[in-house]
Amino acid sequence: MTDPIRLLLADDQALVRGALAALLDLESDLEVVAEVGRGDEVLDAVQRTTPDVALLDVEMPGLDGISVAEQLHGAHPNVRILMVTTFGRPGYLRRAIDAGASGFVVKDTPARQLADAVRRVHMGLRVVDPALATETLTSGTSPLTAREREVLTAAAGGATAGSIARSMHLSEGTVRNHLSSAIGKTGTSTRAEAAREAERLGWL
């Protein structure tokens, strides 16, 4: 008999994590070997438990799932990554794939389909929620530059142009230009609206 596929679950909601672990453990060929509630705990847990597949939530404290995927892919390229999220935002999918994820499914995926997604990712295949894939193709890639995304993320947290400029070692004028460009690209009229729209699309 072959060894079960070893899984790591990373999700900040303990109930969701527990439910996922219980469902996946019911499958004879899957075994949950680690559970963490923060993104910045993933690499240590991988080091300790050597999973075959890591199931990562997108939004977690400490470090978001897409940043974790990038680090994990760099440090442990043989660990397959499956993003599991409540937020089916098209921009997230493209960023996750670019970061090294092999799959992207939403949390309300039926248990059998989720188990199947884990097996397929483990085999080296790519698995993407079909509705999300279609939406991503129609919405296109994020038009925001890395710097615009950085500035808009800071503005979304309520930071002023002056404080963003100081923290990023930019001039206030440059920060205003980035914000203005982001507002134009999101088709909105204020930085708050731009941040909300970019978040809705998964561009932040």
Q: What is the pLDDT of residues 44-99, one digit of tens each?
A: 999 999 999 999 999 999 999 999 999 999 999 999 999 998 866 767 887 888 89
Q: Is residue 36 over pLDDT 90?
A: yes
Interval 108-112 mean pLDDT = 86
pLDDT at site 30: 97
| Spans of all domains in the chain | 5-139, 146-200
Question: Quick one: pLDDT at residue 108?
Answer: 83
Cα torsion through 106, 135, 200, 92, rounded to 10: 60
Per residue, the 3-state secondary structure of 82-116, as one string, reads EEEECCCCHHHHHHHHHCCCCEEEECCCCHHHHHH
Q: What is the pLDDT of residue 22?
A: 94
Indicate if the pLDDT at residue 199 is higher than 60.
Answer: yes
| Length of the chain in terms of residues written | 204
CA 10 to chain centre: 11
Tell me what the mean pLDDT of segment 33-40 comes to.
Answer: 97
Q: Kind of pairing, strands 80-85 and 103-106?
A: parallel
Instruction: Decide if pLDDT at 37 tops 90.
Output: yes
Residue 54, CA atoms < 13 Å, CB-side half-sphere:
33
Residue with structure tokens 């970019």?
Answer: 198
Of 94 and 188, more confident: 188
Structurally, at CATH architecture level, domain 5-139 sits in 3-Layer(aba) Sandwich (3.40)
**Domain over 146-200 is classified CATH 1.10.10.10:** yes
- Tell me whether domains 5-139 and 146-200 share a fold: no
Burial of 64 from C-beta contacts in 10 A (0-12 / 13-18 / 19+): middle
60 and 86 Cβ atoms separated by less than 8 Å: no
pLDDT at 130: 78
- The Cα-based distances of 49 to 9, 36, 43, 187 in angstroms read 12, 12, 10, 46
What single-letter amino acid sits at 112?
Answer: R
**pLDDT above 70 for 135:** no
pLDDT, residue 90, reads 66
pLDDT, tens only, 140-170: 667 888 899 899 989 888 888 899 999 999 9
Structure confidence at residue 137 (pLDDT)? 59
SS3 161: helix
